[in-house]
Structure 1
Amino acid sequence: MKILFAGKSKLDYNRVKVIKAGLAQLKDVQIIEFKIVKGNAENLNKLKQLSNEVDFIYIPPMRHSDVSYVKKHTSKPIVFDPLISKYLTKADYGQFWKLPVKYYLDKIPFTKADILLSDTNAHRSYFIEKFKLNAQKVHTLYIGADTQTFYKQEKETHKDKKLVVGFYGSFIPLQGTDKIVETAYELRDRKDIFFEIIGNGYTFKKAKALAKKWKLTNIHFHGKVSYEELSPLINTFNICLGIFGDSKKSDMVIPNKVYHYASIGKCILSKDTHGIKELFTENENIVLCENSPKVMAKKITDLKENPEQIKKIGVAAEKLLRTEYNEVEVAKRFLSILKKYRNTH
């Protein structure tokens, strides 16, 4: 099978990296990558040429506007992997005046795609119901992780025996980074617990301002780091934090970071949501709680007193990820979706 990965950008996004890493380890699969430059005749001719040579065209996350462009110039089936709804994202940011336009910026590409991927069953149901889609064309493909990039490394334990609670993210509303800072505030007098925060974005300044206002000495903001630096840094954490936002979107997703933490064998603490529980089981391979800083702080202190539980949760999370949601298993599922379409059309 030959697949063209085409998009104006996002061809190196984490979701795409996982699929490509898995496909590279399978036989009889060829990937061709192509960056779309709209308005360029030579680029368009190349797109048309390549589309004639492949079986499917995959359009990466968040490239909604590329779907109509590609659809106009090819007869090959298009696989769109939006990962987000523009409508739901704007609702997440409280930008409700933008919702009518964003609805159609979702609905048009979702409708035109021959195969639409979602990252959880909860997201799949939302896509189908909200945008009135044919359920047969929408398929769940869990994100998983590239285990060759995110893996356990032997790191020197902290000599002062501090429990390191770590988080990385892009500081979007669904992540609830303000609640993480508030949790650090709840634990400000615990000299044996320290927070490491990686990344920046929409709520980054707010989070740092809170920490400064409360004069917190138990939290460190690394800022943005490279993709390659993530795994070594996560390896230094004892407990890894998922998402704690209040939005509808936060209840439907399993973020990249949770898969990465699991691949490295870390104990994960995250908000109790329908999305997370599609794959993970409370107190078996994850620790779940309501997104209240007081409750989050209590969960962390309970785990501090039970290092065997931290280890047990991490081992089980790693087993789940590496058995069922590694890059090869994700790629196999991806191919099975494509083959099912080919056999029925």
Structure 2
Amino acid sequence: MSRTICFFGIYNPDYSRNLVLTKGFQANGFTVLNCRVDPKRYPGLIKYWQLFKIWRNLEVKPDLVLVAWPGHSLVWFARLLFPRPLIIFDAFTSLFDSNVIDRQLYSRYSWRAFRDYWLDWFSLHLADVIITDTLENAKYLAKQFNISIKKINRIFVGTSIVPNVSPVILAKDKKTFSVHFHGTFIPLQGIEWIIRSAKLLEKEPDLKFRIIGSGQESAKITALVADLRPTNIEFLPRQSFAELVEKITEADLVLGIFGTSDKASRVIPNKVFEGLALAKPVLTADTPAVRELLTDHENVLFSKTGDSVDLATKILALKNNLPEQEQLIAGAKYLVQSKLNPQQLVAEFLAKIENENRSRYS
């Protein structure tokens, strides 16, 4: 008998996290219902009325309800509308941690900080089951918001990109070794260290950097570039996802994140999964979160956090080491095919909650 899950909220269905979960549930035999509104079109309280109207017209009662990211302000509403099904909350990021601690958008003693903390706490306690992206993040949520860690389940971010299984052209067949980074210029990404490492490698004529994106720290990065004046970096504006895939495909090395914040140590960013799926060597900071999945010199290359000298050293060493490039490519392909396909990611989660909630889930 087919089972049904309702994705509920104001989520972007095309965002990688939500795409992976959708594909994963479908691959495990679920029919996926979408009960969502666009928060830009229906802001404020009106989104609740629109969600109510969609809920009222649902023809099938779901077995599970997933409040998709971002859904902190909607878990209570899902609980109200769906009193019987298991309510799963994707606590992909903490509002308080992201906005107050990491990005420092406002003071931790402001009313906005209190609002974010309360929304985190309230949504986490209301949900029956919580999912997040790493065990490190699970431990943070459990400690910070006083919830049982047994309630939290890890589902790696993964990627919606179709894995590359074709042969990869190594740098020996190319004139330039291209180092790629894309991001939203937030503190945990540590773009400053990428800029500084590029400056250190400026005299390498066949090594070029490409940095794509913009965001919170754009002014800071612009000022740093004006000060250092590196000549080996190409800056591009934000790209569509299809364009990003094309740019990653052109690269010889994909960079992850290198920030020094606590949050940076608890996440594995989308760009790492995207690089792995496209069978590219990936270099990212050595943190507890990435070690949950990745192994240095096997399927990824690690560098120290916040250390431009170490980052530059690792980039140059990899450029000159074709056997290691081949190992990282092979390791990435094996990891993506064996552990990171959406069907398997969701299957492991379903097996756990079925065991723990057998009396409610049938």
What is the TM-score when the length of structure 1 is the normalising length? 0.92
Partner of 1:23: 25
Partner of 2:289: 275
Contact persistence 1:120–1:142 (CA under 8 A): yes
CA distance in 2, matches of 1:11, 1:168: 21
AA in 2 matched with 1:272: D
Q: In the superposition, relative to structure 1, how do residues 52 and 242 fare at CA in structure 2: closer, same or farther (>3 Å)? A: same
Q: 1:111 aligns with which of 125, 133, 149?
A: 125
Partner of 2:329: 314
CA distance in 1, matches of 2:59, 2:145: 28
Q: Which moved more, 1:329-338 or 1:29-38?
A: 329-338
Give aligned-pair identity as a percent.
27
Shift in Å, 1:331: 2.6
Contact persistence 2:11–2:69 (CA under 8 A): no
Contact persistence 2:10–2:70 (CA under 8 A): no
Q: 2:93 aligns with which of 55, 62, 84?
A: 84
What is the aligned-residue RMSD (CA, Å)? Answer: 2.2
Q: In the superposition, relative to structure 1, how do residues 110 and 51 fare at CA in structure 2: closer, same or farther (>3 Å)? A: farther
CA distance in 2, matches of 1:200, 1:119: 24
Contact persistence 2:20–2:158 (CA under 8 A): yes
Q: In the superposition, relative to structure 1, how do residues 118 and 143 fare at CA in structure 2: closer, same or farther (>3 Å)? A: same
Q: In the superposition, relative to structure 1, how do residues 303 and 111 fare at CA in structure 2: closer, same or farther (>3 Å)? A: same
Partner of 2:243: 229
Contact persistence 1:262–1:317 (CA under 8 A): yes
CA distance in 2, matches of 1:50, 1:106: 28
CA distance in 2, matches of 1:2, 1:169: 35
Contact persistence 1:5–1:11 (CA under 8 A): no
Shift in Å, 1:156: 7.2
Provide Cα deviations, 1:268-293, integer angstroms capped at 9, x if missing partner: 11111000000111111111111200
Q: 1:93 aligns with which of 89, 94, 103?
A: 103
Q: Which moved more, 1:207-216 or 1:239-248?
A: 207-216
CA distance in 2, matches of 1:320, 1:250: 22
Q: In the superposition, relative to structure 1, how do residues 43 and 298 fare at CA in structure 2: closer, same or farther (>3 Å)? A: closer
Provide Cα deviations, 1:153-208, integer angstroms capped at 9, x if missing partner: 67877776221111111111111011111111111222111001122211123223
CA distance in 2, matches of 1:152, 1:256: 20
Q: Which moved more, 1:7-16 or 1:238-247?
A: 7-16
Contact persistence 1:5–1:59 (CA under 8 A): yes
CA distance in 2, matches of 1:225, 1:10: 17
SS at match of 1:50: coil
SS at match of 2:234: strand
Asked if 1:178 corresponds to 2:201, the answer is no
Q: Structure 1 unaligned runs (5+)?
A: none
Provide Cα deviations, 1:209-260, integer angstroms capped at 9, x if missing partner: 3223322220011111111222221111111111100100000111111111
Q: 1:14 aligns with which of 7, 13, 16?
A: 16
CA distance in 2, matches of 1:341, 1:227: 37
Contact persistence 1:270–1:288 (CA under 8 A): yes
SS at match of 2:347: helix
CA distance in 2, matches of 1:86, 1:14: 19
Q: 1:151 aligns with which of 153, 164, 169?
A: 164
Contact persistence 2:202–2:230 (CA under 8 A): yes
CA distance in 2, matches of 1:132, 1:209: 41
CA distance in 1, matches of 2:192, 2:308: 9
SS at match of 1:143: coil
Contact persistence 2:170–2:322 (CA under 8 A): no
Q: Structure 2 unaligned runs (5+)?
A: none
SS at match of 2:358: helix
Q: 2:318 aligns with which of 276, 281, 303?
A: 303
Partner of 1:54: 62
Partner of 1:335: 350
AA in 2 matched with 1:17: L
Q: How many residue pairs were aligned?
A: 343
Mapping of 1:186-197 within 5 angstroms? Answer: 186-197=200-211
Q: 1:67 aligns with which of 64, 72, 75?
A: 75
